[in-house]
Amino acid sequence: MKALHFGAGNIGRGFIGKVLSESGFKVIFSDIDQNLIDFINSNKGYSVRTVGSNLDNTVNVKNVSAINSNNPKIIPMIATVNLITTAVGPIALDAVAMIIAQGIILKIKTQSIQPLNIIACENKIQASSFLKKAVLEKLSTKYYDYLNQYIGFIDCSIDTIIPIVHNNKNYSFLITEEFKEWIVNTNQFKGNLPKIINMTLSNNLNAFIERKLFTLNTGHAIAAYLGLIKKYKTIKDAILDKKIRFIVRCAMEESGAVLIKRYNFNKKDHLSYINSIFVRFENPFISDTLERIGRNPLQKLARNERLIKPLLGSIEYGLPYFNLVKGIAAAFHYKNKNDLESMKISSLIKKQGIKKSLIDICSLSINSKEVYSIVLEYESILKTII
């Protein structure tokens, strides 16, 4: 069995590539970073260290190879592999869709009836369905029947924290926490279900995707934006600040109340889930930067994403949302030259003010309760958080 994985970054090598290799797949990575490609091809492997309170275990991932996504030789690979996975970040999915579409055309031309399953492992709701739509847009309708018969796009929820460790582009090792969760939608596979270590099959995936994105990632993002205002560098430092900790905890509970109502989750279990995430944020064995966690704020502030969607849910159900608003207001203060999206937000606010900017970025209605609350908090958060 062969797997092609797009995005040989932290989660790509540290989790997906590792479990696919351990599950018996011949793994080929694809990336746009030629130095990374050269490293993988000359070393044919890398190591992944998993650290936790009772664990310190290093695994060497071996016999892997890599190809640049811009290399045309990737097209025949797509036409012959059994599985494609991605972890490129949601913005890059469209570029990946273009390459996958060409591979599918070749698969059709060579009359292959070998099923191909594609799993987009991104922090985005139904990322694989989004990828499917992007692939369909690039294919003539005459190929749709083939695609629907032989190509599976499997939505998933993926959870394990893998920080950035490669200083000076040293790609030889990654550090990961012990917690791992990869839940996939059973019903979307074509052909036989692949046997993959650490992969859980589910018929109720949307609840799991939202539970993870609107709890862990909501809390993570809010801690990052508040922490960055106070000039903290890591999530651990931010979360140990009493004021930040309180807001993050309350915001996760506010978002949790929406999930409990929407999906009928057990309240006690959900509060334990939040507690377990706090323990992960405080993990003393991992140093995870707020710059990584808060990256691409434009994307994180979109209407269906981890900050705005929980807020809209709270308003819809008449539930509290005070702390979610603080997190959103903090995100609008993020300004970092290394993060182009944060610079775009900041110049937009300078040009057209906070109200219009947040209406444009978050797709909110002009005279809504949410816009009023965020603007108010945006104006006071810098003083109240210190």
Ligand X SMILES: NC(=O)c1ccc[n+]([C@@H]2O[C@H](COP(=O)([O-])OP(=O)(O)OC[C@H]3O[C@@H](n4cnc5c(N)ncnc54)[C@H](O)[C@@H]3O)[C@@H](O)[C@H]2O)c1
In the annotated binding site for NAD(+), the residues are: 3-14
Q: How far is the CB of 18 from ligand 44H (least distance, A)?
A: 15
Instruction: Convert 232-252 into a string of H (helix), E (strand) and C (coil).
Output: CCEHHHHHCCHHHHHHHHHHH
In this structure, is the dihedral angle defined by the CA atoms of residues 339, 341, 342 and 343, taken in order, positive or negative?
positive
Q: How far is the CB of 121 from ligand 44H (least distance, A)?
A: 10
Return d(Cα 328, Cα 53) in angstroms, integer. Answer: 33
Answer whether 113's CB lies under 8 Å from 150's CB. Answer: yes
88 binds ligand X (CB under 6 A): yes
16 binds ligand X (CB under 6 A): no
Angle between helices 322-331 and 218-229 (to 10 degrees): 60
Q: Which residues of 9-48 are buried (b: 16+ CB within 10 A; e: fewer)?
A: bbbbbbbbbbbbbebebebbbbbebeebbebbeeeeebbb
Residue corresponding to tokens 């809209």: 312
Q: Given the rule CB under 6 A, which of 104-112, 113-121, 158-166, 333-341 is the region that contacts ligand 44H? A: 158-166
Which amino acid, 197?
Answer: I
Residue 295 contact partner, candidates ligand X, ligand 44H, none, CB within 5 to 8 A by sort of partner: ligand 44H
Return d(Cα 99, Cα 107) in angstroms, integer. Answer: 13
305 binds ligand 44H (CB under 6 A): no
* Beta-bridge mates of residue 55: 52
157 binds ligand 44H (CB under 6 A): no
181-185 sheet: strands from edge to edge: 156-159, 181-185, 199-202
Residue 123 or 185 having the CB closest to ligand 44H:
123
| Interface mask toward ligand 44H for 208-247; x: CB under 6 A | --------xx--x---------------------------
**Candidate residues 17, 19, 31, 223; the one interacting with ligand X per rule CB under 6 A:** 31
| Interface mask toward ligand 44H for 176-215; x: CB under 6 A | ----------------------------------------
Residue 220 contact partner, candidates ligand X, ligand 44H, none, CB within 5 to 8 A by sort of partner: ligand 44H
309 binds ligand 44H (CB under 6 A): no
Binding site for ligand 44H (CB under 6 A): 123, 159-161, 216-217, 220, 293, 295-296
